[in-house]
Structure 1
């Protein structure tokens, strides 16, 4: 009996060692591959586009690049991400950044007009590149959209590995702003800025409506009037912690990340929360936010704007032009979705750009 147990144990041990050696000899090592292990290293990818034209990232040395692996459980998810990237592509070009998409599937067959994809979409049919750089490349159910931001030497400076399209787009915008130094306020001619603002206000074809005047106390107990912010763009936001403090604070810190970028575009943040002044004062003291929070514990903002308000949409923002008219509004229950929509709108419509 002891000999039988010994032989069984020997067989099991031999099987484990054989599998271990087999895996160690595998050129891909999929289970140990993580996108973050390539951080700081230069990558050299050679793949063809839909026309069979070979693209070599090495030929783009000297230009910052974004490499996004288009991967998702559903075709619709991949198309949504492509739509976001296509609309942001002109902005990336303006910043001097080259965008690449990499897919293992012929995504263009799912889109009626191939011209909707203005950037190089490369195909990795054998999944050689995807298996090397993506965590879940081997899994048919893997849905993380791995994205690399490369410097001028093709070295990976930032890794974004997220399953949420909205969160990926939000973080991508922040990364591009930081790369270009847009988060540093620059000195400009105030008269020139004001002329540009007046021009945008007069020429814009966006529908606008008169904004009701709002008076709220900030975390220091000072009365803040919305009417005092004429002659500047205002982002008036309302946040409630209906689903818990995590998503609520996530929204506040998302605004904080783009605070200086909004300043550069002459956009002022007025963010109200459904908490009393005392609670906001304690949070403001330790949060490190660059803007002051307003107390709207009676939920005056949703009531005055007469929006279809419900307890499942705790984030509400209004973009108000320098004449005091509401340009557009954003309502959502997701902080990342809200942030992505907001930044996308400001970029596409060049709000406050100068």
Structure 2
């Protein structure tokens, strides 16, 4: 996990509509950047829907929510439409952003070791500095936890 107080790594990734997003374009806003393993899985769906439900409060506090996984743009589009998600999902199949934020780790699933995204959420301030970092977050609790951090 990246250290609090460090500059958040820059990224340029496509969203669920294929439009490119960079961290720089969110300068002046707080950014909740959350990394999750996979679209349409139970934990990831709970987390995304939680951020969706609380999205008006995040917006009120001047924050944007960006979800990142290695799923494709098409997968993100289906996920967004299925659950009516009001925020941006970024596609990182090459793992450039995922690795830059140090969330690609060895995981142990039922005794089998695999590489994957460890559910992690960063709060980045208006200047692009990481001010909070939460690793191995609980999917259902993370949205309310992040709202409280603002």
Q: Which residue of 1 aligns with 2:85?
A: 117
Does 164-173 or 90-99 show the bigger shift? Answer: 164-173
Decide which of 134, 138, 142 is 1:164's aligned counterpart.
Answer: 138
The change in CA–CA distance for 1:93 and 1:112 in structure 2 (over 3 A counts) is closer
Residue 84 (structure 1) aligned with residue 24 (structure 2): no
Shift of 1:169: 3.0
Give the match's secondary structure for 1:92.
Answer: helix
Distance (whole Å) between structure 2 residues aligned to residue 54 and residue 124 of structure 1? 11
Distance (Å, rounded) in 1 between the aligned partners of 2:2 and 2:80? 35
Cα offsets for 1:7-53 (capped at 9, x unmatched)? xxxxxxxxxxxxxxxxxxxxxxxxxxxx2336432331210112221
What is the CA distance between 1:86 and its match in structure 2?
0.9
The CA deviation string for residues 177-207 of structure 1, in whole angstroms up to 9 with x for no partner, is xxxxxxxxxxxxxxxxxxxxxxxxxxxxxxx
Paired residue secondary structure (2:2): helix
The aligned runs of 1:153-302 (5 Å cut-off) are 153-176=127-150
> SS at 1:37's partner residue?
coil
Write the distance in 2 (CA, Å) between the matches of 1:168 and 1:153: 23
Q: RMSD in angstroms over aligned alpha carbons? A: 2.6
Aligned length: 142
Name the structure 2 match of 1:132. Answer: 100
Higher share of residues assigned strand:
2
Q: Which has the larger radius of gyration?
A: 1
Give the structure, 1 or 2, with the largest relative contact order (CA under 8 Å, sep 6 or more): 2
Moved more, 142-151 or 94-103: 142-151
Deviations 1:72-120 (A, max 9, x none): 5972221121111111111111111111111111443654835712111
Q: Which residue of 1 aligns with 2:110?
A: none
**Could you list the runs of 4 or more consecutive aligned residues of structure 1 that deviate by over 6 angstroms after TM superposition?**
none
**How far 1:141 sits from its partner (Å)?**
6.0
SS at the partner of 1:78?
A: helix
Extract unaligned runs of 5+ from structure 2.
108-113
Write the distance in 2 (CA, Å) between the matches of 1:61 and 1:112.
25
CA distance in 2, matches of 1:57, 1:122: 11
Q: 1:150 to 1:112 in 2, by over 3 A?
A: closer
Query: Which is worse superposed, 45-54 or 127-136?
Result: 127-136
CA distance in 1, matches of 2:105, 2:14: 19
Aligned-partner Cα distance in 2 for 1:115–1:73: 11
Given that residues 70 and 102 in structure 1 are in contact (C-alpha distance below 8 angstroms), is that contact kept between their aligned partners in structure 2? yes
Q: TM-score, normalised by structure 2?
A: 0.79
2:3 aligns to what? Answer: 37
